[in-house]
């Protein structure tokens, strides 16, 4: 059995793991990273990146389709378009391949040793890896667990055949005629919207009383409106009971049963930490529910063992994992770091998009703050008008006593690009006056941020 000895061993080359390894390598730490599939993890290979590629293709197809034989106000007319989904998937896979190769290149540049295989802990310092050429034993001073997460499977709808997860949805050869999405969270609605634009008859089944239940109703309203325009049927307070002969049985809150025809059933009811198959039982780690418990430095209950990313709990976001990975690498290299983030932005790539950072008005009030709230609609924004995408708004939430901004939210076309401005304002402790006094380029959607701050201060200029 071959043996490797290193200072830092990272298990999992997803966003958190590979960033941790790259930064550690840059700092001169002798680092080994183990990955059983492809570098980049769920996000790069079967999550964030491929889904956004599919969403973009669907948007372009929908845009062209609505220019065919219809008056669109722009004076543009085209022939009816056709969609070759298999070619779209090949294009998407090309992007994934380029990014995957890029991650491997960055790891090598940082002098990180990459081991391809399935890791299994013997103890907190020793890991066995089954590779194509045999078993390797890796001993490390410090270990980082970055094993990520995987889709939750429903007992009544096990994955297989017509029942698919987001992974299979991203590689379908053809557009399903009738698609039922079980779970109205961000993953289900992002993909459901894309397939509706590509021509599927889509029904969303959500157990709670609102789609996107993690967002407040004001932000969700424009998304619901757009889904209705796309012909998406939304069933809230509904639970999927089982599938038989391409018919999904759904029980409503009233007890009534509905039967939904479905070529494919996409189950997106959440994700769970990947805690099986790599020897967690060999470690004495405290847990927080299903997740590994960590402190403000991502340390677990075992000395020299860290955990980052989805395996440590919510929010399950790639950029959170990346930030944790960078911090842990610097700690291992001897630097003083602590996890002290004021806000982690979250983006829902629906149509329109939603972005949030910090507290909503209700969350701020629940924490005992009196708040000032400023809301600026895109219907009063010149750039939104010229792109024919006026739905949505930007909202600023600040403490009434100090004007300290405690939350920023937006819903609208392309608002995901406001996420960095939102998180930067919160991270740097901006007040309403700071945002209002910052010159924002005209005409851009970002002016909505300045106008929301002005509105909260009581002197909006353009509404």
Active site residues: 442
Tokens of 120: 């299994």
Which one-letter DSSP state was computed for residue 404?
B
Cβ neighbours of 129 (radius 10 Å): 23
Continuous H helices in 333-446: 361-366, 382-386, 419-427, 432-436
Is there a cis peptide before residue 108, judged by omega within 30 degrees of 0?
Answer: no
4 to each of 129, 358, 440, how far by Cα in Å?
A: 11, 43, 53
The beta-strand segments (E) located in 278-392 are 287-288, 291-292, 305-307, 346-348, 353-358, 371-377
Asked if residue 4 lies in contact with residue 139, where contact means CB atoms within 8 angstroms, the answer is yes
Q: Residue 238 and residue 409: Cα distance in Å, rounded?
A: 28
Asked if residue 262 lies in contact with residue 246, where contact means CB atoms within 8 angstroms, the answer is yes
Secondary structure element (H or E) that encloses residue 457, with its range: helix 447-457
Q: Describe the chain by its helix, strand, coil percentages, rounded to 5.
A: 35, 30, 35
68 to each of 63, 65, 294, 394, how far by Cα in Å?
A: 9, 5, 55, 33
Q: Residues 129, 49, 271, 262: is their CA dihedral positive or negative? A: negative
Asked if residue 436 lies in contact with residue 375, where contact means CB atoms within 8 angstroms, the answer is no
Asked if residue 242 lies in contact with residue 262, where contact means CB atoms within 8 angstroms, the answer is no
């Amino acid at each position: 059995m071959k043996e490797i000895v290193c200072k830092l061993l990272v298990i999992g080359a997803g966003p958190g793991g590979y960033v941790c390894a790259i930064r550690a390598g840059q700092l001169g730490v002798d680092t080994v990273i183990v990955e059983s599939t492809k570098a980049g993890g769920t996000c790069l290979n079967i999550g964030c990146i491929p889904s956004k590629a599919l969403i973009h293709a669907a948007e372009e197809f929908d845009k062209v389709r609505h220019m065919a034989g219809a008056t669109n106000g722009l004076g543009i007319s085209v022939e009816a378009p056709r969609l070759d989904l298999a070619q779209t998937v090949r294009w998407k896979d090309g992007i994934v391949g380029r990014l995957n190769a890029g991650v491997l290149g960055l790891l090598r540049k940082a002098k990180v040793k990459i081991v391809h295989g399935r890791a299994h802990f013997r103890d907190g310092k020793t890991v066995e890896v089954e590779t194509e050429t045999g078993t390797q034993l890796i001993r490390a001073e410090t270990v980082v667990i970055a094993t990520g997460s995987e889709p939750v499977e429903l007992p009544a709808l096990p994955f297989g055949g017509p029942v698919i997860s987001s992974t299979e949805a991203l590689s379908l050869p053809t557009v399903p005629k009738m698609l039922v999405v079980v779970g109205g969270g961000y993953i289900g609605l992002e993909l459901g919207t894309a397939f509706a634009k590509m021509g599927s008859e889509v029904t969303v089944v959500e157990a709670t009383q609102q789609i996107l239940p993690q967002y407040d109703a004001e932000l969700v309203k424009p998304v619901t409106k757009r889904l209705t325009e796309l012909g998406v049927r939304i069933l809230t307070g509904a639970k999927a009971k089982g599938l038989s002969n391409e018919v999904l049985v759904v029980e409503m809150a009233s007890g009534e049963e509905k039967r939904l025809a479905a070529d494919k059933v996409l189950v997106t009811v959440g994700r769970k930490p990947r805690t099986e198959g790599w020897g967690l039982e060999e470690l004495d780690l405290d847990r927080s529910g299903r997740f590994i418990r960590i402190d403000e430095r991502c340390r677990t209950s075992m000395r020299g063992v860290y955990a980052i990313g989805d395996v440590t709990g919510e929010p399950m976001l790639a950029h959170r994992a990346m930030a944790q990975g960078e911090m842990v690498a610097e700690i291992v290299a001897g630097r003083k770091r602590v996890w002290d983030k004021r806000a982690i932005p979250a983006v829902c790539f629906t149509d329109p998009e939603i972005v949030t950072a910090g507290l909503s008005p209700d969350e701020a009030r629940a924490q005992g703050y009196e708040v000032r709230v400023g809301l600026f609609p895109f219907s009063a924004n010149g750039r939104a008008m010229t792109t024919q995408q006026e739905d949505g708004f930007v909202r600023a939430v600040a403490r009434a006593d100090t004007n300290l901004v405690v939350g920023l939210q937006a819903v609208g076309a392309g608002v995901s690009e406001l996420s960095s401005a939102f998180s930067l304002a919160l991270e740097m402790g901006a007040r309403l006056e700071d945002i209002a006094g910052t010159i924002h380029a005209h005409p851009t959607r970002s002016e909505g941020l300045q106008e929301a701050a002005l509105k909260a201060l009581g002197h909006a200029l353009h509404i």
